[in-house]
Structure 1
Amino acid sequence: MAQIVHLTTVHKRDDIRIFRKECLTLSKAGHEVTLVVADGRGDDNVDGVSIRDLGKPVNRTHRASKSFAAFRMIRNLSPDYVHFHDPELIPIGIALRSLGFKVIYDVHEDVPATVRTKNWLPFGSRHAMAFAADIAERFAGTAFHRISAATPHIGRRFPPRKTVSVQNFPLDGELLELTKSQRLPIFAYVGGVTLARGYAEMVAAIQYLCATGMDAELHIAGGFSPPSLAEQDADAFDNRVIKHGQLTRPEVAHLLSTAAAGLVLFQPHPNHIAAQPNKMFEYMSAGLPVIASNYPLWREIVEGNKCGICVDPRDSFKIADAMRWVLEHPKEAAEMGENGKAAVQTQFNWNAEATRLLALYH
């Protein structure tokens, strides 16, 4: 069996894709797995995975120094494979490849499209940075041993002979509570909370819905970026918008077991149109109908499997109408939830993706 190092200086050690899916799958298959992170929580060993902590960076500049520390650590560990997850680490990956290491680049998103939406970058430099990211990734595609793409759309940017799509589908039964909970008039959003992911539109939709006499709440589980966004309109809507912060996976499962529908209303940015948000499939796996953005791929998944409603994510009135329909048609909504759960059990689950992941290491 192989010695494998997974590396990230951006993601947390308990990241769902990196740790719970990929690292644990490899460990259970008998590989010796080390996860190198930079979160400041110290070294550990969890479920057979050795976790090595580089220390938490204080800013983006300091994060670069963690990259060099990771390079030194991996060189000393001398693994059979290095599997990294952040585009910022491409230079480190190339350096390790030049030393003879087999390097796998795990591409979680369409990086050039994402760069164009980064608010912290000066607007005038975004296109230049996106172009540079595209060139770097194209070179990486020729230099690295393998590319692991989170969606087929992302994978099309890389050489087919080296690229495997390892999609971010749910773990079997992880968010499905064994005890049946009563569905309440609440709408759930789970994940990172930003304006680009539809926070303002979700809040406005629950306001419009309640203004028509419906008794409903919006429950949000996740961190806000920027943190000040959590205080936006707080006084006006706090009685209808419940902010849970980060929840454990069992807590997420309980929230989804009580909700009427799950929301995934990403705004029409270039990196969203062909994305496959993990939360969409997690809602489906929990037997929850989905209210989603009406992009062609999302409509194919949601409407094609009759598991939810697709709407214009910019139109809070349309979102509120979809919410109202779910509450007024509980039988049909329950059927949608069952359809989504069946689709995950037969198509959109981690079992097949785990096989593709294991095939990368040869």
Structure 2
Amino acid sequence: MRILVVTVVHHPEDARILHREIAALHERGHEVVYAAPFTARGTAPRPEVEGVDLPRASGRDRVAALRAARSLLAERGPVADVILLHDPELLLALPGTLRRLRREGPAPVTVWDVHEDTAAALVMKAWVPRVLRPPLRTAVRAAERLAERRLRLLLAEDAYRSRFRRAHPVVPNLATPPAGPPPPPGNDRVVYLGQLSRARGALDLIATARLLAPDVGVEAIGAADPDVRDALQAADRDGVLRWRGFLPNDRALARLEGALAGLSLLHDQPNYRHSRPTKVVEYMAHGVPVVTTPTPLAAELVERHGCGLVVPYEDPPAAAAALRRLARDSRLRLDAARLGRAAALSELNWGHRAAGFVDQLEAWVEEETAGVPVAAGTAGAGQGVVRGARRRRAGARVPARPW
């Protein structure tokens, strides 16, 4: 298949997009064009991916990114078998494009990968005026219902199913555990992995680091929102913690091994109540005990598998006390690491779900191009059938544009 993957919001090195989904498509032999804000994020496409640079949609500055995305879809869409969209904003670039594609012949299978509860996430956006948040939430829910009628949907969480009227496949955020046994957790270094913001507990992280110093160091890996960047830079400058900024996924994950614990300090926000923090799964996969606030899915994982400790929301002293307990108690620390790693290998392993993700896209393409209904999630749709469908699609449209 020829797959056009598009984001104007996410980092081009996003683990779900690049390191799980695109990697799985390459493993199956499909061709991928990856359109993302490479320049704006200060990174370059990986050698195995054809990259297309797009502007970044950030805050209220989204018009240029959507115009560029619309042009890209008009240019590359006609010769794609699948258009895989990763941002709800991109739904605004679709209507005219899809109408044109359908006039030319069978339209590509257009898929929206639903990463989060968009309406709930608006509550946390500082750039959205409070007075506009209720009508925007209503508009987002309406857009989701419209998208459900016009597109194929993939959901990142089972909990997102209740937002939609139909059943849609779930492609969860899971980990790729390292092949060999990771080193045992140490007792003097704590790691935070992921985007840093107020709602994700960035200021709590700094306060926790102050309470742990100098016995236990804290390392933060990830890009930061503008309103916490100065505080993180000051904490790094003063030796309170080490902020490494954004690191590519492979380098970031390598920093986990041997850590005392991995932190997830999410606040109690609607968007986090239905999502399992990917960082928690990654900590488990790399044999690192977890210390998390009680967001429901994270707390359920930790308590069910005994792989760490749950602390109250916005309570740095409690987080510091839990980390000191892990540092003192080697048996608790080693058991948490072992149990988390075992659960990640058996239940939370992307390797067990990657083929199903690719099978789903292949089945949708076969259904659209051959006109033969295929059950959702049918395994082994067949590369030969899909490639034949692509040839039929190309014949129907007679596209002159190179892929």
Letter in 1 for 2:164: F
Q: Residue 16 of structure 1 aligns with which residue?
A: 15
TM-score normalised by L of structure 1: 0.89
The answer to whether structure 1 residue 198 and structure 2 residue 198 are counterparts is no
Query: Following TM superposition, by how much is the alpha carbon of 1:135 offset from its aligned partner in structure 2, in angstroms?
Result: 0.8
Structure-1 separation of matches of 2:330 and 2:114: 39
The answer to whether structure 1 residue 156 and structure 2 residue 159 are counterparts is no
Query: Following TM superposition, by how much is the alpha carbon of 1:60 offset from its aligned partner in structure 2, in angstroms?
Result: 2.3
Instruction: Say which SS state the counterpart of residue 273 (structure 2) adopts.
Output: coil
The answer to whether structure 1 residue 63 and structure 2 residue 65 are counterparts is yes
Q: Residue 93 of structure 2 aligns with which residue?
A: 92
Residues 53 and 296 (structure 1), Cα distance of their counterparts in 2 relative to 1, 3 Å cut? closer
Q: Residue 338 of structure 1 aligns with which residue?
A: 338
Q: Which runs of 5+ in 1 are unaligned?
A: none
Residues 232 and 254 (structure 1), Cα distance of their counterparts in 2 relative to 1, 3 Å cut? closer
The answer to whether structure 1 residue 128 and structure 2 residue 135 are counterparts is yes
State whether residues 35 and 53 of structure 2, in contact with CA within 8 Å, keep that contact through their aligned partners in structure 1: yes
Structure-1 separation of matches of 2:236 and 2:45: 44
Instruction: Say which SS state the counterpart of residue 124 (structure 2) adopts.
Output: coil
Instruction: Say which SS state the counterpart of residue 154 (structure 2) adopts.
Output: strand
| Cα deviations by residue, 1:272-292 (Å, 9 ceiling, x for unpaired) | 112111111000011000001
Residues 245 and 232 (structure 1), Cα distance of their counterparts in 2 relative to 1, 3 Å cut? closer
Query: Following TM superposition, by how much is the alpha carbon of 1:182 offset from its aligned partner in structure 2, in angstroms?
Result: 6.7
Q: Residue 305 of structure 1 aligns with which residue?
A: 305
Instruction: Say which SS state the counterpart of residue 309 (structure 1) adopts.
Output: strand
| Cα deviations by residue, 1:65-108 (Å, 9 ceiling, x for unpaired) | 222222222235x2111111010011333444432331110011
Structure-1 separation of matches of 2:125 and 2:7: 20
Query: Following TM superposition, by how much is the alpha carbon of 1:3 offset from its aligned partner in structure 2, in angstroms?
Result: 1.6
State whether residues 150 and 167 of structure 1, in contact with CA within 8 Å, keep that contact through their aligned partners in structure 2: yes
Query: Following TM superposition, by how much is the alpha carbon of 1:169 offset from its aligned partner in structure 2, in angstroms?
Result: 0.4
Instruction: Say which SS state the counterpart of residue 275 (structure 1) adopts.
Output: coil
Q: How many residues end up aligned between the 2 structures?
A: 352
| Sequence identity (%) | 26
State whether residues 42 and 55 of structure 1, in contact with CA within 8 Å, keep that contact through their aligned partners in structure 2: no
Structure-2 separation of matches of 1:334 and 1:45: 36
TM-score normalised by L of structure 2: 0.81
| Cα deviations by residue, 1:41-60 (Å, 9 ceiling, x for unpaired) | 7986632x322224567942
Instruction: Say which SS state the counterpart of residue 109 (structure 1) adopts.
Output: coil
Query: Following TM superposition, by how much is the alpha carbon of 1:183 offset from its aligned partner in structure 2, in angstroms?
Result: 1.5
State whether residues 185 and 288 of structure 2, in contact with CA within 8 Å, keep that contact through their aligned partners in structure 1: no
State whether residues 216 and 240 of structure 1, in contact with CA within 8 Å, keep that contact through their aligned partners in structure 2: no
Q: Residue 166 of structure 1 aligns with which residue?
A: 171
Query: Following TM superposition, by how much is the alpha carbon of 1:154 offset from its aligned partner in structure 2, in angstroms?
Result: 1.7
Q: Residue 322 of structure 1 aligns with which residue?
A: 322
Q: Residue 147 of structure 1 aligns with which residue?
A: 153
Equivalent in 124, 127, 135 of residue 117 of structure 1 = 124
Instruction: Say which SS state the counterpart of residue 272 (structure 2) adopts.
Output: coil
Q: Residue 81 of structure 1 aligns with which residue?
A: 82
Structure-2 separation of matches of 1:124 and 1:300: 35
* Structure 1 residues 238-257: aligned runs within 5 Å: 238-257=238-257
Residues 249 and 81 (structure 1), Cα distance of their counterparts in 2 relative to 1, 3 Å cut? closer
Q: Residue 347 of structure 1 aligns with which residue?
A: 347
Residues 237 and 323 (structure 1), Cα distance of their counterparts in 2 relative to 1, 3 Å cut? farther
Name the one with the larger helix percent: 2
Structure-1 separation of matches of 2:286 and 2:43: 33
Structure-2 separation of matches of 1:266 and 1:131: 25
Query: Following TM superposition, by how much is the alpha carbon of 1:250 offset from its aligned partner in structure 2, in angstroms?
Result: 4.2
Instruction: Say which SS state the counterpart of residue 163 (structure 2) adopts.
Output: coil
Structure-1 separation of matches of 2:318 and 2:56: 42
* Structure 1 residues 148-297: aligned runs within 5 Å: 148-161=154-167, 163-173=168-178, 180=183, 183-210=186-213, 215-226=215-226, 229-231=229-231, 234=234, 238-297=238-297
Q: Which runs of 5+ in 2 are unaligned?
A: 364-403
State whether residues 184 and 260 of structure 1, in contact with CA within 8 Å, keep that contact through their aligned partners in structure 2: yes
Letter in 1 for 2:219: H
| Cα deviations by residue, 1:163-197 (Å, 9 ceiling, x for unpaired) | 111011012327x776x377141211011110100
